[in-house]
Structure formats: structure tokens, C-alpha cells
């Protein structure tokens, strides 16, 4: 079946601009995660959705970052007033939800964001 997809694959923007990054999870996966991977680093957690609600947004670096998942499927990560330090690969992952057990997270290909 189809895996997690992310669009666009690459995004180049100018400092100060607004960007939206989209994630389509695997059908039926209720849990959705956003991570950010800077050069030479491992992925870093940003936010986690269970259904439509953000269950944990403790990883969002500041209030310029916001994410939504209005219908419990597709999610959009929004970054306002982008800064050069926001340049990274943004990864999305999804998983089934099973209370009390650790479910495998399936990752998308990522969106490479470059802020000039």
C-alpha cells in the first residue's frame, strides 16, 4: 500500500516568508508525528497528533511554528516569518494507535526546506 507522502519534496523560500508543508499519512493511522532533521543530526521531535488534536507539541521551537490536522488525516506544518535557521529536512511519520504498546512509526520522504 501507499506509504507516508510529503509535499513538496523541496521548498526554497526567502527569509521572512510563510511556508506550509503537507503530510499524508498511511490510511487508517491515527497517530501522526512531525520531526525536523538538521544537517548532521538525527531527527528531532516537533509535534504529535492523535486524531485531530495535538497531544504533544513540546518540540515546536517557538510560536512561529504551528501544525494542524483538521480531519484527522492530512496534516500541515506551518512556519511563519521563516529564518535561515529553519532550514532543515522536515519529516512526517504515522503509526497505528494501540494503547500501552509502542507502534512502529513509518516515515515519509521528507521536505527539504531552504531559507535564503
Partner 1 sequence: AQRVTQPEKLLSVFKGAPVELKCNYSYSGSPELFWYVQYSRQRLQLLLRHISRESIKGFTADLNKGETSFHLKKPFAQEEDSAMYYCALMVGGFQKLVFGTGTRLLVSP
Binding site for partner 1 (CB under 8 A): 3-4, 31, 33, 35, 40-45, 48, 55-56, 59, 91, 95, 102-110
Q: How far is the CB of 87 from partner 1 (least distance, A)?
A: 18
C-beta of residue 4 within 8 angstroms of C-beta of residue 24: yes
Q: How far is the CB of 56 from partner 1 (least distance, A)?
A: 4
Q: CB-wise, 4 or 19, nearer to partner 1? A: 4
Q: CB-wise, 20 or 44, nearer to partner 1? A: 44
Residue 79 to residue 36: CA distance in whole angstroms: 12
Which pairing describes strands 111-115 and 10-13: parallel, antiparallel, or unpaired?
parallel
Q: CB-wise, 19 or 47, nearer to partner 1? A: 47
Locate 34 and state its grid cell: 512531525
Residue 86 main-chain phi, psi, to 5 deg: -80, -10
Residue 13 to residue 101: CA distance in whole angstroms: 40
Locate 101 and state its grid cell: 504498546
Q: CB-wise, 67 or 91, nearer to partner 1? A: 91
Q: How far is the CB of 55 from partner 1 (least distance, A)?
A: 5
Q: How far is the CB of 54 from partner 1 (least distance, A)?
A: 10
Query: What SS3 class is residue 1?
Result: coil
Amino acid at each position: 500500500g501507499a506509504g507516508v507522502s510529503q509535499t513538496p519534496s523541496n521548498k526554497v523560500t526567502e527569509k521572512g516568508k510563510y511556508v506550509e508543508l503537507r503530510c499524508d499519512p498511511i490510511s487508517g493511522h491515527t497517530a501522526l508525528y512531525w520531526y525536523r532533521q538538521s544537517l548532521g543530526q538525527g531527527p528531532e521531535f516537533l509535534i504529535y497528533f492523535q486524531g485531530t488534536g495535538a497531544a504533544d507539541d513540546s518540540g515546536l521551537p517557538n510560536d512561529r511554528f504551528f501544525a494542524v490536522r483538521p480531519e484527522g488525516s492530512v496534516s500541515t506544518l506551518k512556519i511563519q516569518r521563516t529564518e535561515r535557521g529553519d532550514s532543515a529536512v522536515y519529516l512526517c511519520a504515522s503509526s497505528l494507535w494501540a494503547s500501552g504498546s509502542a507502534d512502529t512509526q513509518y516515515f515519509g520522504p521528507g521536505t527539504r526546506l531552504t531559507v535564503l
